[in-house]
Chain A
Amino acid sequence: MSEHDTPRRGRTGTACSRRAFVATGAAGLAAVAGCLGDSGGDSGGDGGDESRDGGLPDGVPYVEDPPEAVYVPSHRDPFLMQSPVTAGDYALLPHFSYPHRFWLVDGGETEEVLPTLDDSLHLMVAFWDRQTGELLPVDAGATLSVSRDGDPVETVAPWPMLSQTMGFHFGDNIPLPDDGTYTVDVTVNPIEAVRKTGGFAGRFEETRTATFEFEWTDDRRRTLVEDIEYLEEDQRGKPGALEPMHHGEMATGNGDTNGGGMDMSDMPSPSLRPAAAYPGTDLGVHESGDVAFVVRYLEDSRLATGDGGYLFVSPRTPYNRLPLPEMSLSLSLPDGVVQLGQTLDDELGMHYGGTVALSAGTQFDLVVDGPPQVARHRGYETAFLDMPPMTVEVDQ
């Protein structure tokens, strides 16, 4: 296990400690949560985490001094699901929960984001390709425009995020001024920053917008708080992860319906295929920073762009095989360095790859230049940061 000390910087000026504590209305969810759960209080363990001084993290007990690895959090969150909506080739699944603590990643550091008392809910959108059912775990620069009766409430680019139960999604804590019916326009922009191959070449080049509505009421806040499922204390903080939700079991709450002609069972699993499902020469499954890297070499591949074959790398979380986008990977070969590109392929899914000529006996390092920059929900904030190179060898 790595000895890397993860820097954690609480955000400046924690609103919880400075603002009036409002226990009712849309702003009061953190307060309700705080009343129902042990709010944590003293940070104990590692100390030095000023952000906890307000005594109101997101209102539920948390694992103090977690291991520097993927770990089981103290609880499983309930979600209120909406019906999926469509936007061109994209299918979008909106869902929400109470305002969450999460961690942004910039470079090799994390930055803890605490909900403020203005935040009403944590709004999330998962999205996938309707034609193939493939997940699209990339930063498509999506935007959420929240309005009420035509009046704008908030426009935000939600963070690309990873949670143990939902996998990759976009999300953020959103402040709402009051209870009521809200309209959300979700805009997904062309996917330009990653390579698109196979049936995905030339696709996802249009801006698409879908709209959904939701009610924000006292009942819904109560559901979100009362349905929190606490794990046994002896499980919390142990290496492991909550099961990812699969279709059929996702709707734990009574979501609104939008009449979009789809139901939640269309949502693909948030997990990647098992290692054995990929083609090519097996170069092993390697581990770094608690990430499993499936490495394959595909000779004569349609994916190669020059002389040589295609080196395929699929990094995934341990336990539940969730994809890890926005990572920088390279190969350190005897004759130079090759950057791997994040790639979306309709048959192989999201992976990293590059063209390289390998022969039996070749040894190289798989180098993580930048860890996955996606924001992390609880249980992932201490993993996937310090990631030493891995040595890969092509068998004789």
Chain B
Amino acid sequence: MGLPDSEMPRRQYLRGLVATGGAAALAACLEVPGSGTDVPQGDPGSRPARQHAWNDALPTDEDGNVRRPNHHALLALDLTTEPDRAASERVESAFRSLERAYAHDVAGLLFTVSYTPAYFETVGAESPVPDPEPLTSVEGEIALDGFHALVHLASDDPAVVLEAEQALLGGASEPNGVQMAADLAAVFERADPRRTGFVGSGLPVEQAEERGVDLPDELPDEAPFLMGFRSGLRESQAPEERVTIQQGPYAGGTTTHVESLSLNLRQWFEQNDQQLRIAEILSPHHAEDDVGETGEELGTSTGVFPDIADRTAADASTRGIVGHAQKTARAREDGTPLLLRRDINTLDGDRPGVHFLAHQREIADYVRARQAMAGEDLDGVGQRLNNGLLQYIFVRRRGNFVTPPRDLRALPGTDA
């Protein structure tokens, strides 16, 4: 299995392979000199008790914002067997093997394992999270995640994401040179959809060019997100403690919501100018000089809390336009955001989109933040028109999950 005969730089070639997935992509990936080598191995004993405790392992940018890993896969799984003690031990053994194979680091592998209400129904236990449902009036008939478990795999090295996925499903027995003591294949099978994504300066344009997806020329080459602007700045992210479940059987865990969206970047970039984009993504009070081409002037804060957020309703009725950040900042508790965003850009299906993955203490926190973003309470803006980003985003799918603490991640809620 060799590389295609092309002039494509190795780095670009590798990045596209996460979206392709599978053993062939992995094989191609690993034949490239320098890929999948020098990946640090890890120690399961040093992993934190909270699966979602990634921040200590993530680098920060020059402003001090936590930077997300570059490459991601969201692996959906369905149970194929009645869970019992043996199954639970096998699942835990597979995850521990991955932890030995890769360091808890962006050069290694960060991952979480989460479970849906459908899983709990199957195993006959009460679900700690509600069934997913449409949250706003403009969603219509969306898909709802009904598979059983979700593994979120993330690394700066695309080969690690692919190899870890293959290893879990039984397609790679020695990831990063470490023998898998077990895999998930006897307990789970792959379910739909397989989702992939990426975050990082320059990646949206690079990925789109590589896959032949046509994006507007106005998207800056160095933009970290498909809509052009940085997001997830420190001041608008919930601390990990704020999203951690405090009591009950899953104390120390978190909940996860994944909202998959498609984007209309043609309207966003070709019909708006930069000032209007800034008004809609931040607020009508932000000037271009305060923001910069891709949000580089913002530092660690969107600057909307508290004053500009407080002006949201007044801006709707007197200016006829409100920004996304100012609307969503209304859903804070004592000034602290409710959501820890780990959303990723995607070109799944060769269409631009976002897999908006967020952790929060309870799903109700997500609902509160999402309804603040919908702004259905605001007079003077439309259901989409001049209402933040709603003109340009289309919800396709939602899923609710509990992400248990690490010691309960293998088939929770069973007698095992």
Contact = CB atoms under 8 A, between A and B. Distances in A.
Nearest to B138: A141
Contact of A141 (B272, B284, B379, B382): B382
Nearest to B262: A155
Contacts of B284: 106-107
B138 A189 contact: yes
B264 interface: yes
Contacts of B381: 193, 326, 373
Interface in B218-271: 218, 262, 264, 266-267, 270-271
A193 B383 contact: yes
Contact of A139 (B274, B275, B351, B382): B382
A190 B317 contact: no
Contact of B273 (A12, A18, A159, A373): A12
A373 B321 CA distance: 9
Contacts of A175: 266
A31 interface: no
Interface stretch (B95-103, B330-338, B390-398): B390-398
B140 A369 contact: no
Contact of A107 (B319, B382, B384): B319
A160 interface: yes
A35 interface: no
Interface string B303-345: 0000000000000111111000000000000000000000000
Contacts of A189: 137-140, 383
A141 B394 contact: no
B38 interface: no
B266 to A, nearest CB: 7
A209 B272 CA distance: 28
Interface in A104-144: 104-108, 111, 113, 116, 138-141, 143
Interface size class of A (residues with CB under 8 A): 35 or more
Given A11-B271, A104-B276, A326-B385, A370 B318 contact: yes
B319 A116 contact: no
A106 B381 CA distance: 10
Contacts of A10: 273
B386 interface: yes
A13 B320 contact: no
Contacts of B316: 328
A76 interface: no
A12 B267 contact: no
A13 B217 CA distance: 8
Interface size class of B (residues with CB under 8 A): 35 or more
A101 B141 CA distance: 33
Interface string B204-215: 000000000000
A160 B384 CA distance: 10
A175 B316 CA distance: 31
Given A104-B272, A190-B137, A370 B262 contact: no
A342 B378 CA distance: 12
B275 to A, nearest CB: 7
Interface string A72-106: 00000000000000000000000000000000111
Nearest to A330: B317
Nearest to B315: A107
Contact of B276 (A106, A152, A191, A339): A106
B343 to A, nearest CB: 19
A106 B320 contact: yes
A75 B380 CA distance: 33
A289 interface: no
Given A192-B383, A326-B385, A106 B140 contact: no
A157 B320 contact: no
Contact of B318 (A187, A209, A369): A369
B312 to A, nearest CB: 14
A213 B355 CA distance: 31
A116 B380 contact: no
B311 to A, nearest CB: 13
Interface string B266-296: 1100111111100100001000000000000
A106 B217 CA distance: 23
Given A175-B266, A207-B140, A106 B318 contact: no
B192 interface: no
Interface string A8-38: 0111110100100000000000000000000
B376 interface: yes
A354 B369 CA distance: 30
A156 interface: yes
Contact of B272 (A11, A172, A187, A191): A11
B379 A339 contact: yes
B270 A11 contact: yes
Contact of A160 (B139, B266, B276, B385): B385
Interface in B121-142: 137-141
B147 to A, nearest CB: 23
Given A141-B138, A326-B385, 20 more contacts: A11-B273, A12-B274, A13-B217, A13-B218, A104-B276, A105-B386, A107-B321, A108-B319, A113-B271, A139-B385, A152-B349, A157-B264, A190-B137, A192-B376, A193-B378, A328-B320, A328-B379, A339-B379, A370-B320, A373-B320
List the 4 shortest-distance A-B pairs measured between CB atoms, nearest first: A139-B382, A370-B320, A141-B383, A141-B138
21 contacts: A12-B274, A104-B271, A107-B319, A107-B320, A108-B319, A108-B320, A138-B382, A140-B383, A141-B390, A143-B140, A152-B351, A155-B264, A160-B385, A175-B266, A189-B137, A191-B383, A193-B383, A326-B380, A326-B386, A328-B380, A371-B320
